[in-house]
Structure 1
Amino acid sequence: MGLLRIMMPPKFQLLAVMAFGIAMMFIENQIQKLEDSRTKLELTIARHEVREVEQRHMQEAARDWTPPGESDDVVIIYNRVPKTASTSFTNIAYDLCSKNHFHVLHINTTKNNPVMSLQDQVRFVRNVTSWKEMKPGIYHGHVAFLDFSKFGVKAKPIYINVVRDPIERLVSYYYFLRFGDDYRPGLRRRKQGDKKTFDECVSSAGSDCAPEKLWLQIPFFCGHYSECWNVGSRWALEQAKYNLVNEYLLVGVTEELEDFIMMLEAALPRFFKGATDLYRTGKKSHLRKTTEKKPPTKDSITKLQGSEIWKMENEFYEFALEQFQFVRAHAVREKDGELYVLAQNYFYEKIYPKVN
């Protein structure tokens, strides 16, 4: 460079220096662009790797997760309330279990006590969660709701149930204790021989038709808390409502049992595929009917409806009915006098990032 300065005129020397400076700036700019490109490439590669990991995890999770209605590891608990058409419904489960390959287990408690001891609660939770040979399965019995989360269980069972107008349920139970039903007509019932009608019981303020006898559906849904069984407890009513909404997949009503069965078949086909047709055409679905049952008079109904206990039980029943009708309104439609289940009514769009 020094020799060039000697040989070149000053004017050309200046141009040479400027050209050299421009060349160096261009080279530095290209180097910076290469550095930026490398950084972007590394970032793109990193994002791609992260995306691949996320997609792999999502695919693994999809393989591990099976819809409740199709899984072979699902357990349903039907803690059936007495005289709500529970036998009619369980007969359908018995008829379907061989065809649909699931188990049905009847929970028979001593003296029909709906409250389990603490040690029996632990045993029952262990049975339901770890008895693999009985999965998939439906457990049913006259037992109060049991919160499995209290026992540290992650995969909780699916709860279902049916409720009935409280006075109609009590009248049915009153005559059932005296005359039985057409399911097992030869079986002697606890009050057999007592010919007193329900109306006569109400007019004489008998114990078997007292308002306190209405207090049953609330504690069955409330569960294994002492306050649940305190007759007339507002706390028990609110807890029963909470459990119905948060812990039960579906709660039907006796008066609309066919709709309840239809919705279960749509939601849980693994268990209830064919249940609707079986209910409509089978003999067992209408098998159990209380005999010698006489509808109560308006005076008897009015007298019971004057009690605070009836008001609370009826409030719970109306709450359950409204929830059931809400679910049904979004699940089925009526056409030509027949109900049918709606097909899938949601879809996905604008899924990003797009895959080439």
Structure 2
Amino acid sequence: MIKISLYKQKQAEQIHTENLVGKDNFNQDTTVEYNSMVENPYHDTVPILYLSGGWTELDVGSLQRKNNRKQQLLNISLPYTSDLDHEIVASSQNITAKKNPSYLIYNRAPKCGSSTMNSVIKHLKKQNKFALSHELQAHVINNQQTKNLVNKLKKIKSRKVVYDSHFYYLQWPEFDFNPILINVVRDPIERQISKFYYQRSEKRWGNITERPAPEWFNKTLEFCLFSGDPECQFGDVEELITTYFCGTAWECGDRKSGRALQLAKKHIEEEYSVVGITEDLKNTMVLLENYIPGYFRGASSYFSREKVRENTNAHPPQNDKVVQKLKSELRIDLELYAFIQQRFNIQLQHVNTVKKISRNQNSVGIISLSHNLASKYTVDLGQL
């Protein structure tokens, strides 16, 4: 077993409070340890969602019933090494200098501010002189598909390229490709509530006639959580935030795998220049602009001036029973979110310290982390 601190100790205590969750509806699990080995055997097919009339999560995600029940996550071993048995410590280092400055990858997680991010990126495209490639992509990309994607990006005739799509972390160096990586995450509880009702929104389905059964659209999150509905089997069917940073292996989708959590933390600390937070997009822009100025110079100004905001969808308020159940089911995502928040705040403090020192030295203009007072890992891409 790998012992890992939970999101907050107070929340960890609340997760298992019987009178909040309900003894009859939830099998209590009082341990605060994650499994060191994968818990569930591999399933090569995905189940039908309750009350859907034969639709799977993959069908709902694509707005089209494809009768394809093939599991997306791959039946491969987790690339886990012994150094992951130690605590992963968040830092302010900017690893951009270790990356190929010609490419930036944004493997965005759904319902985490991607509409806002896309708006900012599109606006900055011209002034910061980069090409933008955006497409719908399977969340799991195999080796051949990854090779094809790398070749496609290398053929784009631009000195800088941004590529964004919904897909899980890839081992880019194995394909002789080492792009700058970014992402944005959201409080896992709020994300799942939002996503559940967003998938049912009339705006999303529009004039599509072939749909899941009406009962599926009227299904409540509470029913989903406490009925054993596959739609709310997080990790097994419903994807985790952790998977976006862990990778495509089956264990990356196991909500009780401490190994998957540790690997996700390692990838964030060692591979991602910035992982922003939806709840603080203003400072997310500050970090992007300072850590990756070649792509995001002017992001803060545009975000503030245009009052860019994420699309929202209406959904009913949830009772304590639902919230506590989500906290229990999403412990791995909550732990990762806490780690990302910690790293985010450390990076932001570093940026503010550099700016303060620069002001004291009567520096002029916008301060980027390419200043010699910043981390030795910093690079200024503005000259590209």
TM over 0.5: yes
1:124 corresponds in structure 2 to: 149
Distance across 1 between alignment mates of 2:185 and 2:259: 19
Give the match's secondary structure for 1:77.
strand
Structure 2: unaligned runs, 5 residues or longer: 1-94, 357-364, 375-384
Q: 1:306 aligns with which of 314, 322, 328?
A: 328
2:218 corresponds in structure 1 to: 195
* Distance change in 2, residues 1:175/1:300 (3 Å): same
Give the C-alpha shift of residue 98 in structure 1: 2.0
Question: What are the equivalent positions in structure 2 for 1:184-263 lying under 5 Å apart?
Answer: 186=206, 193=214, 194-212=217-235, 215-263=239-287
Give the match's secondary structure for 2:200.
helix
- Determine if the alignment matches structure 1 residue 133 to structure 2 residue 160: no
Q: 2:172 aligns with which of 124, 142, 148?
A: 148
Deviations 1:130-174 (A, max 9, x none): 225043111000011112211234xx1100011111111111111
Distance across 2 between alignment mates of 1:180 and 1:162: 26
Contact kept in structure 2, 1:215 and 1:232, CA below 8 Å: no
Deviates more, 1:245-254 or 1:272-281: 272-281
* Distance change in 2, residues 1:226/1:244 (3 Å): same
Amino acid at match of 1:167: I
* Distance change in 2, residues 1:207/1:100 (3 Å): same
- Determine if the alignment matches structure 1 residue 316 to structure 2 residue 336: yes
Amino acid at match of 2:309: H
* Distance change in 2, residues 1:204/1:73 (3 Å): closer
Distance across 2 between alignment mates of 1:190 and 1:287: 26
Deviates more, 1:191-200 or 1:239-248: 191-200
* Distance change in 2, residues 1:233/1:180 (3 Å): farther
Amino acid at match of 1:95: H
Question: What are the equivalent positions in structure 2 for 1:1-356 lying under 5 Å apart?
Answer: 74-109=102-137, 113-128=138-153, 130-153=154-177, 156-179=178-201, 186=206, 193=214, 194-212=217-235, 215-282=239-306, 285-290=308-313, 292-307=314-329, 310-332=330-352, 344=371, 346=373
Contact kept in structure 2, 1:73 and 1:136, CA below 8 Å: yes
* Distance change in 2, residues 1:303/1:224 (3 Å): closer
Deviates more, 1:241-250 or 1:324-333: 324-333
Distance across 2 between alignment mates of 1:215 and 1:144: 10
Amino acid at match of 2:349: A
Deviations 1:278-326 (A, max 9, x none): 112225x215112x2223221211122233xx11111111111111111
With CA pairs under 8 Å and 6+ residues apart, which has the higher RCO, 1 or 2? 2
Amino acid at match of 1:288: N
Distance across 2 between alignment mates of 1:313 and 1:91: 26
Distance across 2 between alignment mates of 1:245 and 1:219: 15
TM-score (norm 1): 0.66
Distance across 2 between alignment mates of 1:306 and 1:195: 24
1:3 corresponds in structure 2 to: none
Give the match's secondary structure for 1:250.
strand
Distance across 2 between alignment mates of 1:75 and 1:136: 6
Give the C-alpha shift of residue 68 in structure 1: 6.3
Structure 1: unaligned runs, 5 residues or longer: 1-66, 348-356
Distance across 2 between alignment mates of 1:306 and 1:323: 24
Distance across 2 between alignment mates of 1:198 and 1:221: 26
Amino acid at match of 1:118: N
Contact kept in structure 1, 2:114 and 2:310, CA below 8 Å: no
Distance across 2 between alignment mates of 1:192 and 1:75: 43
* Distance change in 2, residues 1:232/1:178 (3 Å): same
Contact kept in structure 2, 1:166 and 1:314, CA below 8 Å: yes
Give the C-alpha shift of residue 96 in structure 1: 1.8
Give the C-alpha shift of residue 214 in structure 1: 6.0
Query: Which protein is richer in helix relative to its size?
Result: 1
Distance across 1 between alignment mates of 2:132 and 2:149: 15
TM-score (norm 2): 0.61
Contact kept in structure 1, 2:113 and 2:310, CA below 8 Å: no
* Distance change in 2, residues 1:73/1:243 (3 Å): closer
Q: CA RMSD in A?
A: 3.1
Give the C-alpha shift of residue 244 in structure 1: 0.5
Give the C-alpha shift of residue 72 in structure 1: 10
Identity of aligned residues (%): 29
Pick the structure with greater CA Rg.
Answer: 1
